A and B are shown apart, each in its own frame.
Chain A
């Protein structure tokens, strides 16, 4: 074990760190010393938060501001230039209805943009470790009853008679629930993921789909409303004063007509499309992929549909609104203070290293456990044997062997190995990376060969390119 002969790494475990690591709730004085931070400040996704965590948006919000400007300016011009004429000549109900529509549109827009779309919080380290173990066991146990073994990072579930594959998310370290998807722009898994809407500046998911739908529906009504009444206004004026002078009297009308004319096609089209999606209880994601299309097979149907269009609509629009799972404004508990590293922030990983409260020895214990479990697979076992045989660090204690054999093994990514074992092994190694990083810092180890800068730990089986980048970053870091 690490602690047997090596004392240098243990020096990193200062007693002040230990007393914090003890992390019992009884250590109240230590929690008071550290200023309490809210959870949104340590949120691992790429979202932006405002108003102390009350507002949550995607990283790129430029298009959202454009949306707002277009709506506000067009409606403002309508109320300023067209409504006085229409109110006096036709009925004051027109600006009233217009006003109500405008307020509703803005309300729905803000609600869709600022609320949590249904982000799934990332797995805690314990959960992730438990899942890794389970995946390792699945791999070790071999084919199931029918001789068919699904790939290790997927689980199959039968929902209402349809087989649905649950995929493992490398970034969030969870098996995604059905209909959830990982948004690469926001770097979060979102429940019932529909799409990422740049116009709204947020993902559209389970919690804000109805707001999004009501927004586009009311916006299409508002656009049609403004278009219709501006045209009416111009016509009425032209009948009084002639067409050209009517346009001169009310120049804003031209701008409004142009904006409305070009928006109406896309917005009304989108409303129609989403009405269809709601009626059939599908997400944009599913529709684009054709997951439940009958073209895939006669037996293919949507298992989530409630049967009738009315039931589906009611469920989508009037169903219960689940609360946010990420508790943005809650306080970070000091003993759970370590956020999962950002998938693209290798610098974040580096900066967290000196601050992490985990003891080197315990980390190595943990990672060694993984190794021992993963070693149940024959291939991995063989590799370790062949590698550690020729390694110069043979003088180290036996359990240090798997740790030390890591860099050498890196150079021979096993090509013909089935991805399953390679991935399980790769994850084991990633954990070993961390202990190896510290180990080397102690200068006890003759510096092993550099960890193959270009070698990604995950071979093509990795589904998350961001995760690949972070792993490459880890590899580079470790070789520094």
Chain B
């Protein structure tokens, strides 16, 4: 009965989720959003170090741009204050615009670089900007079926 259960699950998956790698935040520059560029050991065999570092550095640059305190943000802030923040009902903030750019970038990276290597980057905004979650997939038929199903079921929550 137990074996039947697992075979059924295996049939439903074309690729099973083997593990998830979490890139944590780097707080050395304060509370600005920045992720660690340290290369995780689990990805050693899956992707080149330079590609990974490029992705993380680009993301860090995007976030720095979003949170930059400069001329444009002052203008936006003062204008918003003067209109009692009603203007945000019509206009998108600069942060939101940059977040959209980030989503597009991540999607593009996934399509071009990560998916062909069996990896998937989850947008940090979906994880509360705490981590960059990289899901590592393995081909179906590997012996990791039990770990795959446990990871999958654990991702469905407790």
Q: Which residues of A contact B (CB under 8 A)?
A: 3, 7, 10, 13, 15, 18-19, 21-24, 26-27, 103-104, 107-108, 111, 120-121, 123-127, 129-130, 157-160, 164, 166, 174, 177-179, 191-192, 211, 214, 303-304, 314-315, 317-323, 325-326, 335-341, 356-359, 361-363, 365-366, 434
Contact = CB atoms under 8 A, between A and B. Distances in A.
B73 A319 contact: yes
Contact of A358 (B12, B13, B130, B153): B153
Interface string B129-158: 111010000000000001101111111111
B109 to A, nearest CB: 20
A3 B149 CA distance: 14
26 contacts: A22-B8, A22-B13, A22-B152, A23-B155, A23-B156, A24-B13, A26-B12, A27-B12, A107-B85, A124-B127, A125-B155, A127-B130, A127-B131, A130-B22, A158-B28, A159-B28, A177-B130, A314-B69, A318-B69, A318-B74, A320-B67, A320-B76, A320-B94, A340-B157, A359-B5, A362-B146
A356 B158 contact: yes
Given A10-B2, A320-B66, A159 B30 contact: yes
Contacts of B66: 320
Interface string B49-82: 0000000000000000011110001101110110
Given A120-B128, A358-B154, A130 B69 contact: no
A337 B156 contact: yes
Contacts of A359: 5, 149, 153
Interface string B34-57: 000000000000000000000000
Interface of B: 1-2, 5, 8-9, 12-13, 20, 22, 25, 27-31, 66-69, 73-74, 76-78, 80-81, 84-86, 88, 93-96, 99, 125, 127-131, 133, 146-147, 149-158
Nearest to B157: A338
Most buried by A among B73, B77, B127, B151: B77
10 residue pairs, one from A and one from B, having the closest CB atoms:
A338-B157, A318-B77, A3-B2, A121-B128, A362-B150, A107-B84, A22-B12, A325-B128, A318-B74, A157-B27
A159 B31 CA distance: 9
Contacts of B85: 107, 111, 211
A320 B73 contact: yes
Most buried by A among B80, B86, B133, B158: B158
Nearest to B13: A24
A32 B68 CA distance: 42
Nearest to B84: A107
Given A365-B146, A365-B150, A323 B93 contact: yes
B158 A338 contact: yes
Nearest to A23: B156
A314 B77 CA distance: 9
Contact of B149 (A123, A211, A317, A362): A362
Contacts of B94: 320
B69 A319 contact: yes
Most buried by B among A108, A125, A336, A357: A125
Nearest to A115: B85
Contact of B95 (A3, A129, A323, A356): A323
Contact of B77 (A157, A317, A361, A434): A317
Contacts of B152: 21-23
